[in-house]
Structure 1
Amino acid sequence: MLSAFNYLNEEQQQQVEQSVVAAEKQTSCEIVPVIATSSGRYDRPEDVVGLWLTIVSALCLWYFFPRNGGQAGDWGGMPVIVELFLAAILLAIAFILGAIAGSRIGWLRRLFTPRLQMQDEVAARAREIFFDKRIHHTEGGTGILIYISLFEHIAVALADQSVIDKLGQPFLDQICQKLTTGLHSGNPTATLCETILEIGNQASTPLPRATDDQNELHDALVLID
């Protein structure tokens, strides 16, 4: 699974940070971009993949090592209790391997995780970061969070109420759509930079930067693994 720390190289991270600096020169908004590896634990795929691999292993045992007429089959006449013991061990191993695969292989986790659950997890995590990073606590109430969760392929834009009043919720929804489309196109750096600069341009008139405006939040790209 792709880590947030490997998503952009150092030069690309600096480009994003420079975009934040440039955007905040036009507006009083405090823009905080965040990239996270994942927003949820998602235990279900581990159980589902483990169960399916166990079922497939059981069918393979039944097919390749049959018992005919109560006599020992292809296992060389081993006692039934030994065969059952070995089968139980093999099935347990199959479940463990499936659980490991379900927890570490990204496309398997996404395949067996409902989309609605991922959306809820990303939204909850974004709200948590919005408060934990004190983005909501700026003096003018002008914090904006751009949150990208890599595993779920979902982007969220959150803002203080004063920003929503000036720019409108549809603008934030548009930002999310632009981020999602751009990230799917395979150019995350340009997408992030363009989005941040667009926020600065759109907010420059309704929320202009004052002459005595202080930079309350760090301009660095936040990475969460």
Structure 2
Amino acid sequence: MNQQSATTTTTQDAGRYGLPQHALQRIAEAVTLAEGKTSAEIRVVVTRAPLVQHPFFSILWASLAALVLPWLIVLAYPMPALSALALQATLFVILAAALLMPGMAEKAVPRLALKAAARNAAIETFLSYGIPQTKGRTGILIFAAARERLVEVVADDAAHGPLGAAAWRDICDAVAARARQGSLAEGLVAGVEKAGDLLAGPLPRKPDDRNEMPNHVVVL
């Protein structure tokens, strides 16, 4: 298994991310057409939940700021040590409360941490949906984190071997290019089409191939 960096009962509010029912159907149709070119299996999963859901980074930044900033003030305006400690505590409480507010907590998470979380979530999804169990180990997953606008591709051994990481970056780029223009659905269609074209070379469709996984998009 290698990686690169929607039946749905949960599609009711997916439209907020540019994924109304007709868009999900269009992506599913793109998967069907792409798999008509290749023996590989393509799965598309979109998650709407935050990749990082705990307040660790909000508390971290508030702690660092409360640790450093008061002493810079002390250098300019000397004060007793107890007063400086009280200032630290007050600053920590104010900053922590502000950074834990809805919307602010997500902004406190570094981009590198989000990318690492996206990779981990994609691998977990790849495994939980049984993609490594496909015949010939040819399954790939296109995983999109809608809130964070991140895309990951996880490919099983038989798909990754002949194509390599560059192919998965091309798929991610195809999704991201359209998503930046405001259409995640069109981005996913483009990514699926790119996957079909890339996989058709080393893994062409065979007469006895059968569809081993559903083609609909999973929205989490």
TM-score (norm 1): 0.71
**Aligned partner of 2:53 among 28, 41, 65:** 41
* Alignment pair present for 1:183 and 2:194: no
- Alpha-carbon deviations, 1:54-77, whole Å to 9, x = none? xxxxxxxxxxxxxxxxxxxxxxxx
**For residues 95 and 110 of structure 1, do their structure 2 counterparts lie closer, same or farther at Cα, with a shift above 3 Å needed?**
closer
Structure 1 gap segments, 5+ residues each: 52-87
Deviation at 1:40, TM superposition (A): 2.5
* Alignment pair present for 1:11 and 2:30: no
1:76 alignment counterpart: none
Deviation at 1:119, TM superposition (A): 1.1
Larger Rg: 1
Q: Partners in 1 of 2:181 and 2:107 — Cα distance?
A: 21
Preserved CA contact (<8 Å) 2:174 2:194? no
1:136 alignment counterpart: 132
Q: Partners in 2 of 1:189 and 1:150 — Cα distance?
A: 10
Preserved CA contact (<8 Å) 1:21 1:219? yes
1:222 alignment counterpart: 218
Preserved CA contact (<8 Å) 1:23 1:201? yes
TM-score (norm 2): 0.73
Preserved CA contact (<8 Å) 2:176 2:187? no
**For residues 216 and 169 of structure 1, do their structure 2 counterparts lie closer, same or farther at Cα, with a shift above 3 Å needed?**
same
Aligned residue type for 2:52? G
1:194 alignment counterpart: 190
**For residues 19 and 195 of structure 1, do their structure 2 counterparts lie closer, same or farther at Cα, with a shift above 3 Å needed?**
same
Structure 2 gap segments, 5+ residues each: 1-12, 64-89
Q: Partners in 2 of 1:171 and 1:205 — Cα distance?
A: 12
Q: Give every structure 1 segment of 4 or more consecutive aligned residues whose post-TM-superposition deviation is greater than 3 Å.
A: 3-6, 45-51, 94-100
Preserved CA contact (<8 Å) 1:33 1:145? yes
Deviation at 1:110, TM superposition (A): 3.7
Q: Secondary structure at the match of 1:122?
A: helix
Aligned residue type for 1:134? G
Q: Partners in 2 of 1:122 and 1:20 — Cα distance?
A: 22
Preserved CA contact (<8 Å) 1:155 1:180? yes
1:81 alignment counterpart: none
